[in-house]
Structures are given as structure tokens and as C-alpha cells.
């Protein structure tokens, strides 16, 4: 049974996104939170601080959506015109609202260097026909308008102000205003098949999905995420049926499914290592420290990551990692025997339980007919087992580094 | 002499942005490149894989802009409908294009596991009335349409495929098609001042810029790039005048200018090292291999980068880097003496000419009153000099890693 959900659009206002100065992380965050809360995002639009363009975007959005959320353009400086534009659009006027000043005074009471000046006082001028929602962490208030059953909200573009407002005020108010349905997402991550081969493999399964469950393919450098989205009136039934579908998928794809949740592979491996009390070390040639970097981006990684030898020169492979100079000479750095010695020796040297080593030709130069650019040997090693594989990742340097890192993490996962 | 810029709009197609699964970094990258190439971005729009909505967005965009760039939604699977939608919109039909298959065959020739199947062959079905542009790094071709003097392009959403296509094909073709004016950019990179303080420092200089030279502030984790863009009919005069302006800026900002070109700091340092014939090594605790990773992303980095010891655990600091256990115990890992020993010893151990070491509290936990999260010690060392500094980078883990990496690279630059 299909449910019509409440449609939302986001309009971000300001030049910084359009000149490429900042990446719009706000919209992605808002999209995640809105989806989790049962809303459907119909469109995201980024426009300049330009009154006509803002109005045009609003009118188009109101044709498609029930809710329009504006972010940005509400600072007190000259270039910010969202408030004036909405005031004109709703055919009203700006009036002084004492509650805004009281909120700012409360806010500034903990920050001795901040004083209310003329520009700050301008924040208290609000459109007469809107509901004013106080900004708990900033000076610009939020404004909530209703028109023909639809809701229009203007909020700050500063990320932590927007996040605070969305979480504590806007989403709860919207859920209350519209009675939102239940939406459930489940993601499995598949490795080793391109999008099109995968689509053929699961074609029959995909065609038999009930109409209240939809499927999306989300490819990302070697891994394809399959995301199931379900809409149903009973959350428990929906959960049960979606799990059934994922079980069927497991029967088809087997070990190609490397994760049943939507988390980065390095985090998945980190969690596995922690749960088994294992410490990992890396010996990196072609990945140049990127495996170590991915691990150490994770808070608390010192609980499972010991360290790394980035052996970019052969000298380090022989002197520090004790790789046989003879093997290095005869087999070359990109060979099974060298990468295995790197893996085994880094594990012993750094006193780790488990290790991974990479050696390959990242490019753009250094390839030969026998070992073209993109040839990578990876080895994982524990006290019990040492497993090595050769890969061919193609001609692009950055892609080679990313894919080698990913393959190394997945081989680690195999032997943990 | 004001010149009317060619207006461009970006429409990204696909669910992944609208459900918040990915952050739209493509659009910011495209915006930067388009601006640099003399185009003006009027709007960015993100829509679902929905035919009506795609058409509606296209029609609106064509009212405002001269060029509409679609990204995404051109994979071979069922959920991707951009190609079908544009075929219908342009009132044409899909025809088989052999050149697409030849391109894919060439692409797959280096990747033995990839075979052309039924779905891959579908990529060769293209709208009859468009110009097909081959995708040099992926299977989905680009399609270029012209209508009433306007240009509509559909390209892949996979970031490296999009970037390759924009750089090698789309921007040059657009510049050729619209005969865009001569535009000259000069960038200086400033370290150590926030955007608003910097703006005050150079206010007078900025106000006196001739009207054919515009200034953009592009802040990026600790560094602010100041980009001067000049439009003039005589390129030699323009170059002369812009260099004069940059000389004036040098008088104001002095050593705060860390680069006079728009290249990543790691590349700048790499070039300097190469030109002096020096090899660098790193000993990384809080940066966890990221300095090594940034160096090794650069093609040819083996000419200046030797390797790294990622000493995430104290054991590696003492056993491998020979840091005094007593100092580690008494001063703590985040201290001047420890980070200096790391720098000096990694230089000797890896037989490098110059080295950098980092040790800090990346967070979110591990901070104390005396050494809060964000406290980082960095040391650079050569045979002649060892230079160490303490930094406070704040509470965010990822920011701490990025800023520590940046500070380490800039300290290296100082002593090279």
C-alpha cells in the first residue's frame, strides 16, 4: 500500500556554493534527517542572493512540494536579502519583535566579548505574518510561514545553527503539522561486480520486489551499494519483509556482499578488529599511507590500529621491512614474494596481530607490458595465514590508490 | 569594460543526493572550474530520476541560462532514465553507435575481468540528433545537444568520470562554442589569517583594484586563497597590471603569502624538494599517514618522498623510532622533545635529507586541561636545523588531521 508522503524542497541562498567556494554539506545533512523522519525530498536548489530568482524558485517549489526550507541569506549584512524578499512575497511588513532581542541577550550572556549593536538589533525586525522561532545558537531568528496549507521556513545557513534548528524545532514541528508515514532504508554493499553485471545477476529478484519497496544502485569506486527503501503503514511488517528480501539477495550474491549496513569499509573492518581484540599494522608502497590514513580518520582507531611503514623506496623495503634484496632484484617490487615479506615482516616488526601490505604501479609512469600501470599485489597476514592476490585497477593514479586501499581493507576483512 | 558571461546551470540527477547518502561535491568542483573558465553559474538543481521533473528543470534552466549541464542518471540500469528522457524531450530516437562500443573495448582491454555484456551494449544506444562524446574513463558516453543556440550536455555523475570529461572535453568545447573572453587568474595563498581579518588588512588595496579585476576569497582549512580574475582585451597589459597588484599585496602580507600559484601545498613542497634534490621522510602520529598520502597522490613522488613511519602507538615510537621511553613517560607523546626525536630519528632511519614529525590529540577524546583536543606538536628536521612548534587546531578530528598536515607541509617549506 503506497503512502503519499510529505514533499519537501530545500533552497540554499548565497554565492559561495555557486562560485565553488564551499561544498553544500548542509543539504545532504538535511536530506538524511528529513528522509529518516518520513519526508521525501523532491528537489534541492542553489541560487544567488537575488530577489527575483529567490521568488521564482519559491513559486516553482510550491507547485511540487508541501514544504519549502530556505537556508542562508539571513545575516545582518547588505548582501543578505532573504528576509526582505519573503516579506515582500507575503505582502507584509517588517515589525520589531522584542523576543528576538531577549534571545540574543541570553545568548550573549555567556560570551562576554559579544555586545548587541545596531546590526544585531536589525535581527529583531521580522515579517508581521510569520511565526518567529528563536535561534538557540545564533542571532538570526527562524521564520515560519503558512500559505494554502503549505509551510515555508527560512533558517540560517551556518551549519551548526541550521542543524540545531532542524533537530530541535523544524522537524518536530513539521511531523506534528503533517502526520508523516514510516520510511525504512536498508543498504547492502557489494564488491567485485560492476553495476551492469550486478543488475543482470539480481534482475529476477529486483522485478519481484513488492511495489512499496524500491531499489537504488549507488556505485562508488569498486563497491556498489544496493539501497532498499520501503514505505508501509506497519513498521514491524515492513522490517520483516525487507529483511526477507535481503536474505534472498544473500542467497544470490553470497560473499560478494561485504556489508549489510551503510558504513565505510574501513569502519566495518575497524569494528571487526575491535570486537575480536586484534591490532592491525600496514606496510604500504603504492597506497602510500592511505590505508593508515583511512583507519586513523576513525575516532578511537588507536584501539585497533598500531601503525604503518610506508615503504615508498626499495631501500626501506630492505632496510626496515627486511625484504630480501635478492627477491626485490629478481622478482621486482610488485610481486607476490615481496608483498608477502612486507606483510609478514611488518606484522612482526610492529608487533601486530594482523597486517596488510600493498605494492603496485600507481602510474602514470612505471608500467611495463608484463606489469602495466594499475598492477597491484596485496597481501594480508596473521599468525595463521598469509593470503596474497594480484589486481589490475587501470590507468588512473588516484583511482589505483583508492581501489588498492579498498581491496586491502576487504582482504583484511576476509581473514579477520 | 564589463563582459556578459555565458550563464550555465547544473542539474544533478539521482536519488543519492536527495536522500542524503552522498554530499554533492561534483557541483562545487564544476562551479570552480566553470568560474575559472569565464562562465557564470546561475543555479544548481538536484532532482530525482523522474522524467517529468527532469524536463521541468531543463525548461526552467533554459529560460535563464545558455548552457545546461546534467550529471548522473546515465548508468545502464533501470533506475537511470536521463538518456530516455532527453531522447523524448528532443523528439528523437535511440540509435546504435559503434564508436561507443569501440571506446568501451579499448577501456576494458586493460582490465581482463571486465567483459561487454548486454547492459554494457545498451550504453551504445544514443539519441540520434546529438553529438556523442566518448567517456575516456567509463562506459557511459556523453551526449551534447544544441537547441536555439543553447547547449545541453548529459554526463556521468561518477566524480572522476565527470572531472575527466569536463576538463578534457566539455569546458574546451564550450569555450570554443561561445568564444568566451580572455580571462586571466592569479592566485596567492595566505596562511595564518581568517577571512574577515584578512579582508580588513587588504581593504584599501581591494578598493583600489581596477574594475576589470575582481577578487574572490576562497578559504580552505587554514589557508585563504585570494583569486584575482582579470578581463581585458590586451592579455600582455592585463598580465603586467595583475602582477603589479600582486606585488602590492606582497608588501602588505609579506610572509603570510605561502604560494603565488594555485597548487596544493604538498605539490609546492614536492617541487621545491625535487628542484633541490632532497628526499623527505615523515614520522606521523596524529596525522596517521595523511602527509605520506598527500605526497604519494602526486605522480612522480618517488623522486622526493622516501617513506614514513606511522607511529600511532607509543610502542612504535620507542621501538622503531627510538624515542626515549623516559621522555615519552614524563613529557607525554604530545610534547616538543618527543616530536623532535621522532623527526630527527626518522630522518636518520629512512636515510632522508629532511623530515617532518607530528604528534597531537586529534580527538574527540584524549584531551586534558593542559593539552586540550587539537593540541599538536610538529617538528621538521634537516642535517642543519630542527624546528618545532605547538598548535591548537580545535575540537574536530578531521579538521585537526587536515590542519596538522597543512601546517607540517608549510613548516617543511620554511626549512627547504
Residues in chain B with CB shorter than 8 Å from the CB of A392 are 110-113
Convert the pLDDT of each residue in A204-226 to its tens digit.
Answer: 999 999 988 988 887 776 789 99
pLDDT tens digit sequence for A321-342: 999 999 999 999 999 999 999 9
What are B141-179's pLDDT values in tens digits? Answer: 999 999 999 999 999 998 989 999 999 999 999 999 998
Q: How many CB atoms lie within 10 A of CB A67?
A: 23
Residue B54 has pLDDT above 90, yes or no: yes
Contacts of B212 (CB under 8 A, 6+ apart): B1, B230, B231, B232, B238
Distance from CA of A98 to the nearest CA of B (A): 30
Q: In chain A, whose CA is at the least distance from the CA of B15?
A: A216
CB within 8 Å: A310 and B290: no
Q: What is the pLDDT of residue B119?
A: 79
- C-alpha–C-alpha distance, residues A77 and B9, integer Å: 27
Residues 6 or more apart whose CB falls under 8 angstroms from that of A28 comprise: B17, B20, B21, B22, B23, B24
Cis peptide upstream of residue A364 (ω within 30 degrees of 0): yes
B350–A320: do the CB atoms touch at under 8 Å?
yes
**Cell digits of residue B199:** 579582508
> Does residue A145 carry a pLDDT above 90?
yes
Residue B177 contacts by C-beta under 8 Å, 6 or more apart in sequence? B151
Mutate to test the interface with A, among B166, B312, B351, B367 (most CBs of A within 10 A): B312
Report the candidate in B311, B345, B313, B340 with the shortest Cα–Cα distance to residue B327.
B340
**Inter-chain residue contact B320 with A349, CB threshold 8 Å:** yes
The three grid cell numbers given for residue A142, joined into one nine-digit string: 527562524
**Across the interface, do A306 and B315 touch by the CB < 8 Å criterion?**
yes
Confidence at B2, pLDDT banded by 50, 70, 90: very low
d(C-alpha A12, C-alpha A360), whole Å: 44
Question: What SS3 class is residue A40?
Answer: strand
* Res B205: pLDDT: 95
Q: Is B308 helix (H, G, I), strand (E, B) or coil?
A: strand
Q: What local confidence, expressed as pLDDT, does residue B349 receive?
A: 97
- Name every residue whose Cβ is closer than 8 Å to that of residue A102 and which is 6 or more positions away in sequence: none
Specify the pLDDT at position A164: 92
Q: Each residue of A126-143: pLDDT tens digit?
A: 999 999 999 998 889 999
* Contact across the interface for B21 and A32, Cβ inside 8 Å: yes
CB B89 within 8 A of CB B127: no
- The predicted model gives A11-30 an average pLDDT of 86
- Model ipTM value: 0.78
Task: Provide φ and ψ at A68, rounded to 5°.
Answer: -120, 120
A205 chain-B contacts, CB cut-off 8 A: none
- Each residue's pLDDT tens digit, B215-260: 887 777 678 889 898 888 788 999 999 999 999 999 999 999 999 9
Nearest CA in chain B to A38: B19
Taking only the tens place, the pLDDT of each residue in B109-124 is 877 667 788 878 889 9
Contact B77 A196 (CB under 8 A): yes
Nearest neighbour of B293 by CB, restricted to A217, A290, A320: A290
The alpha-carbon gap from A128 to the nearest alpha carbon of chain B, in Å, equals 30
Residue A56 Cα, gap to closest chain B Cα (Å): 10
pLDDT digits (tens, 9 = 90+) for B260-276: 998 889 999 999 999 99
Domains of chain A and any CATH numbers: 7-177 (3.40.980.10), 182-259 (3.30.70.2860), 265-415 (3.90.950.20)
> From CA A408, how far away is CA A389, in angstroms rounded?
10
Average pLDDT over residues B389-402: 89
Q: Nearest by CB to B23, which of A20, A28, A290?
A: A28
CA dist., res. A14 & res. A23, Å (int): 12
Chains A, B: CB contacts under 8 A, how many? 284
For A247, the 3-state DSSP assignment is helix
Strand ranges, E, within B193-352: 213-220, 223-231, 257-259, 280-284, 305-310
> Which residues face B375 on adjacent strands?
B392
Q: What is the distance between the alpha carbons of residues B255 and B277, in angstroms, rounded to a whole number?
A: 24
Q: For residues A339 and A377, is the Cβ–Cβ distance under 8 A?
A: yes
* Integer angstrom CA distances of residue B245 from A159, B212, B227, B228, B252: 35, 12, 12, 9, 11
pLDDT for B215 equals: 87
Chain centroid to Cα A225, Å, comes to: 13
B118, B296, B310: residue with CB nearest A307 = B310
| Portion of chain B with pLDDT greater than 90, in percent | 73
Band (A1; pLDDT cuts 50, 70, 90): very low
Name chain A contacts of B45, Cβ cutoff 8 Å: 43-46
pLDDT band at residue A14 using 50, 70 and 90 as cut-offs: confident
Check: CB of residue A101 under 8 Å from CB of residue A126. Answer: no
Task: Please tell me the predicted confidence (pLDDT) of residue B27.
Answer: 94
Q: State the pLDDT at residue B223.
A: 85
Binned at pLDDT 50, 70 and 90, residue B325 comes out as very high
3-state secondary structure (DSSP) of residue A66? coil
SS3 category, B263:
coil
Closest CA to A15 of A41, A42, A55, A53: A53
Least CB–CB distance from A310: residue in B27, B75, B307: B307
In terms of phi and psi (left: phi > 0; alpha: psi -120 to 50; beta: otherwise), the region of B114 is: beta
Residue-by-residue DSSP string for A384-412: S-EEEEEEE--S-HHHHHHHHHHHHHHHH
Helices (H), ranges, B23-115: 25-36, 51-64, 82-89, 98-108
The average confidence (pLDDT) of chain A is 91
Q: For the purposes of burial, counting CB atoms within 10 Å of the CB of A272, is it exposed (0-12), middle (13-18) or buried (19 or more)?
A: middle
- Structure confidence at residue A187 (pLDDT): 93
For A353-386, what is each residue's pLDDT tens digit?
A: 999 999 999 999 999 999 999 999 999 999 999 9
Contact B111 A394 (CB under 8 A): yes
Buried b (16+ CB within 10 A) or exposed e, B357-373: bbbbbbbeebbeeebeb
* A66 min Cα distance to partner chain B (Å): 16
> B8 φ, ψ to 5°?
-125, 145
User: Which pLDDT does position B235 carry in this prediction?
Assistant: 84
Residue linked to cell 582491454: B109
- B1 confidence band (pLDDT: 50, 70, 90): very low
| B278-288 tens-digit pLDDT | 999 999 999 99
SS3 content of chain B, % helix, strand, coil (to 5): 40, 25, 30
Task: Tell me whether residues B45 and A45 touch, CB distance under 8 A.
Answer: yes
Helix (H) / strand (E) containing A71: strand A67-71
Closest listed residue to residue A314, CA positions, set A333, A330, A331: A333
Mean pLDDT of A223-251: 91
Q: Whole-prediction pTM value?
A: 0.79
CB contact under 8 A, B312 and A290: no
Q: Are B407 and B372 in contact (CB under 8 A)?
A: no
Indicate the length of chain B as a whole number: 416
C-beta atoms of B23 and A23 within 8 A: yes
pLDDT at residue B335, as a whole number:
97
Are B23 and A22 within 8 A, CB to CB? no
Tell me whether residues A365 and B300 touch, CB distance under 8 A.
yes
Question: Given this model, what pLDDT does residue B266 score?
Answer: 96
Report residue B12 as a C-alpha cell: 544533478
Give, as one character, the DSSP assignment of residue A160: H
Amino acid at each position: 500500500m503506497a503512502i503519499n508522503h510529505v514533499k519537501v524542497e530545500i533552497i540554499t541562498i548565497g554565492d559561495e556554493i555557486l562560485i565553488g567556494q564551499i561544498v553544500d554539506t548542509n543539504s545532504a545533512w538535511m536530506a538524511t534527517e528529513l528522509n529518516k523522519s518520513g519526508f521525501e525530498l523532491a528537489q534541492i536548489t542553489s541560487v544567488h542572493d537575488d530577489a527575483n530568482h529567490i521568488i521564482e524558485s519559491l513559486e516553482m517549489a510550491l507547485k511540487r512540494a508541501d514544504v519549502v526550507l530556505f537556508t542562508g541569506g539571513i545575516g545582518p549584512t547588505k548582501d543578505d536579502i532573504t528576509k526582505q524578499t519573503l516579506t515582500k512575497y507575503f505582502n507584509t511588513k517588517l515589525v520589531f519583535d522584542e523576543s528576538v532581542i531577549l534571545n540574543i541577550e541570553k545568548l550573549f550572556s555567556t560570551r562576554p566579548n559579544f555586545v548587541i549593536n545596531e546590526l544585531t538589533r536589525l535581527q529583531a525586525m521580522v515579517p508581521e505574518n510569520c511565526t518567529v522561532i528563536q535561534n538557540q545558537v545564533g542571532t538570526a531568528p527562524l521564520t515560519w510561514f503558512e500559505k494554502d496549507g503549505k509551510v515555508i521556513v527560512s533558517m540560517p545557513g551556518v551549519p551548526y545553527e541550521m542543524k540545531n534548528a532542524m533537530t530541535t524545532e523544524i522537524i518536530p514541528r513539521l511531523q506534528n503539522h503533517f502526520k508523516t508515514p514510516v520510511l525504512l532504508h536498508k543498504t547492502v554493499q557489494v564488491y567485485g561486480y560492476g553495476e551492469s553485471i550486478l543488475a543482470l545477476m539480481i534482475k529476477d529478484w529486483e522485478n519481484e520486489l513488492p511495489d512499496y519497496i524500491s531499489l537504488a544502485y549507488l556505485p562508488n569506486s569498486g563497491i556498489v551499494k544496493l539501497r532498499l527503501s520501503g514505505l508501509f503503514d506497519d513498521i514491524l511488517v515492513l522490517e520483516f519483509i525487507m529483511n526477507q528480501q535481503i536474505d534472498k539477495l544473500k542467497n544470490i550474491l553470497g560473499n560478494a556482499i561485504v556489508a549489510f549496513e551503510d558504513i565505510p569499509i574501513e569502519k566495518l573492518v575497524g569494528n571487526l578488529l575491535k570486537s575480536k581484540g586484534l591490532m592491525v599494522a600496514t606496510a604500504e608502497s603504492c597506497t602510500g599511507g592511505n590505508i593508515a590514513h583511512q583507519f586513523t580518520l576513525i575516532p578511537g582507531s588507536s584501539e585497533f590500529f598500531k601503525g604503518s611503514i610506508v615503504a615508498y623506496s626499495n631501500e626501506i623495503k630492505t632496510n626496515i621491512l627486511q625484504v630480501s634484496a635478492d627477491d626485490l632484484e629478481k622478482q621486482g617490487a610488485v610481486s607476490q614474494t615481496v608483498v608477502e615479506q612486507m606483510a609478514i615482516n611488518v606484522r612482526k616488526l610492529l608487533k601486530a596481530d594482523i597486517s596488510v601490505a600493498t605494492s603496485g604501479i600507481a602510474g602514470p609512469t612505471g608500467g611495463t607490458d608484463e606489469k602495466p600501470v594499475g598492477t597491484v599485489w596485496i597481501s594480508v597476514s596473521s599468525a595463521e595465514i598469509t593470503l596474497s592476490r594480484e589486481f589490475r585497477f587501470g590507468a588512473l593514479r588516484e583511482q589505483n590508490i583508492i581501489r588498492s586501499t579498498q581491496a586491502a581493507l576487504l582482504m583484511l576483512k576476509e581473514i579477520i
